[in-house]
């Protein structure tokens, strides 16, 4: 609280990001769904040949070559692509641009309960009403729950976070069709880890109200670079540009644009990296299940695991932390019975499994 802040800031409940440990102590970091592998070698090449003098000049507002690279990769027109400073910024602009209808501020945005914890932050910061649609058993999203509910928009992470479950393209089509006057945001931060890979981008020709949001932070190993993007109809993209240019005309810098473009162009490296993570996820799921953990089937680069009876998730989180292994713990509602564990390298996951085995033995011996 401060007398110098306005009411909005005094009332704000900001997003709390996963812990970023201080340099020095060796930590196995499995708490923010980062990629354990380095970005494509093409990134180093473009950085080495980057002409520093170019930094004198403002970057291309729309993202320049990056937009073309994304459009080529996705088979859409460059006018259907919008780039921002991480998908968090793109999502924030989406909430500001699409979520209110005809000045009616009583209509809520529909989001699954539970989902990405930034959505409620945007809702309260931008004064948008919200309605949480409960997930069904085992965190399953039921498409018919999004039918006939008055709303000013819908935001769904697919695969969902922190639950790791994915819905089908048929479900997304259904939700878009039943809500033709609302924008439906599909946040595909983790889509590249689903097997098989599917994307709502293929539905864009059918649904002018669909907005797919992506990031380079996860599958492209570029969380430190801050590039996210939206792919949608020209009409929606034009709206996002109006919002951006009322806030910050240059959200993506020159170096970030070429680095992200290099990573996105290297499809082979991307494929290999994803395959490694998917294989390690399988190992992790099998090993944790053998220890008595339960979890929904993951389509993401993390698992949402419930420890076996007798082992409290909050305590396990603390004990793992003491052992130098950071995972994510949400101390609320039913989520407090689970840990969200990012898939790291094989060695890191073996260390996690060994630490969990030890914790279970301690519980059994106590």
Q: Please report, as ranges, the residues that interact with ligand PMP according to CB under 6 A.
A: 86-88, 116, 157, 161, 187, 189, 215, 217, 223, 228
CB of 350 to ligand PMP, least distance (A): 25
- Report d(CA 261, CA 271) in Å as an integer: 16
Of 83 and 176, CB closest to ligand PMP: 83
Q: Which tokens go with 351?
A: 């260390």
Q: Which is nearer to ligand PMP, 88 or 266 (CB)?
A: 88
Distance in Å, CB of 274 to ligand PMP, minimum: 17
Q: 3-class SS at 83?
A: strand
Measured from the CB atom, the residue of 87 and 221 that comes closer to ligand PMP is 87
On the 0-12 / 13-18 / 19+ scale of CB atoms within 10 A, 25 is exposed
Q: Tell me whether residue 161 or residue 204 sits nearer to ligand PMP (CB atom).
A: 161
Give the other-Cβ count within 10 Å of 117's Cβ.
15
CB of 290 to ligand PMP, least distance (A): 28
- 187 vs 359 by CB, closer to ligand PMP: 187
Q: Which is nearer to ligand PMP, 91 or 355 (CB)?
A: 91
Least distance to ligand PMP from the beta carbon of 264, Å? 14
Closest C-alpha to 191, from 211, 164, 173 = 164
Smallest distance from ligand PMP to CB 58, Å: 22
Closest CA to 115 of 65, 47, 190, 196: 190
Residues 6+ apart with CB under 8 A from 135: 112, 113, 114, 141, 163
What is the rounded distance in angstroms from the CA atom of residue 159 to the CA atom of residue 161?
Answer: 7
- Of residues 207 and 229, the one with the C-beta less far from ligand PMP: 229
CA gap 248, 252 in Å, rounded: 10
Nearest distance in Å: CB 135, ligand PMP: 15
Q: What are phi and psi of 297, to 5 degrees?
A: -65, 125
CB of residue 189 vs ligand PMP: minimum separation in angstroms? Answer: 4
Partners of residue 28 on adjacent β-strands: 325
The answer to whether 228 touches 202, Cβ cutoff 8 Å, is no
Question: Rounded CA gap, 270 and 73, in Å?
Answer: 12
In the complex, what is the shortest distance from the CB of residue 54 to ligand PMP, in angstroms, rounded to a whole number? 24
Nearer to ligand PMP, 62 or 359 (CB): 62
Euclidean distance between CA atoms 38 and 71, whole angstroms: 24
Spatial neighbors of 321 by CB under 8 A, at least 6 apart, are none
């Amino acid at each position: 609280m401060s007398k110098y802040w306005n009411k909005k800031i005094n009332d704000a409940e900001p997003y709390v990001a996963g812990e970023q440990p201080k340099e020095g102590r060796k930590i196995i970091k499995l708490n923010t769904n980062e990629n354990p592998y380095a970005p494509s070698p093409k990134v180093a090449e473009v950085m080495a040949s980057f002409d520093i003098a170019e930094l004198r000049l403002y970057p291309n507002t729309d993202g320049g070559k990056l937009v073309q690279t994304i459009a080529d990769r996705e088979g859409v027109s460059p006018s259907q692509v919008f780039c921002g400073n991480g998908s968090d910024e793109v999502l924030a602009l989406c909430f500001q641009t699409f979520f209110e209808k005809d000045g009616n501020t009583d209509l809520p945005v529909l989001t699954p309960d539970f989902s990405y914890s930034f959505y409620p932050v945007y809702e309260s910061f931008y004064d948008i009403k919200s309605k949480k649609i409960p997930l069904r058993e085992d965190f399953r999203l039921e498409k018919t729950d999004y039918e006939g509910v008055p709303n000013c928009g819908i935001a769904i992470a697919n695969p969902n976070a922190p639950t790791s479950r994915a819905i089908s393209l048929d479900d997304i089509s259904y939700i878009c069709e039943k809500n033709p006057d609302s924008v439906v945001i599909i946040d595909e931060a983790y889509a590249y880890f689903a097997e098989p890979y599917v994307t709502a981008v293929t539905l864009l020709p059918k649904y002018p109200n669909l907005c797919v949001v992506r990031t380079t932070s996860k599958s492209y190993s570029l969380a430190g670079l801050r590039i996210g993007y939206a792919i949608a109809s020209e009409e929606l993209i034009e709206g996002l540009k109006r919002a951006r240019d009322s806030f910050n005309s240059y959200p993506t810098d020159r170096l970030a644009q070429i680095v992200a473009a290099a990573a996105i162009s290297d499809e082979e490296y991307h494929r290999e990296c994803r395959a490694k993570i998917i294989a390690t996820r399988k190992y992790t799921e099998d090993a944790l299940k053998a220890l008595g953990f339960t979890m929904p089937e993951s389509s993401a680069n993390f698992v949402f695991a419930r420890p076996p009876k007798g082992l409290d998730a909050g305590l396990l989180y603390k004990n793992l932390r003491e052992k130098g292994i950071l995972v994510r713990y949400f101390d609320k509602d039913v989520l407090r019975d689970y840990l969200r564990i990012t898939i790291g390298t094989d060695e890191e996951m073996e260390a996690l499994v060994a630490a969990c085995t030890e914790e279970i033995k301690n519980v059994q011996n106590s």
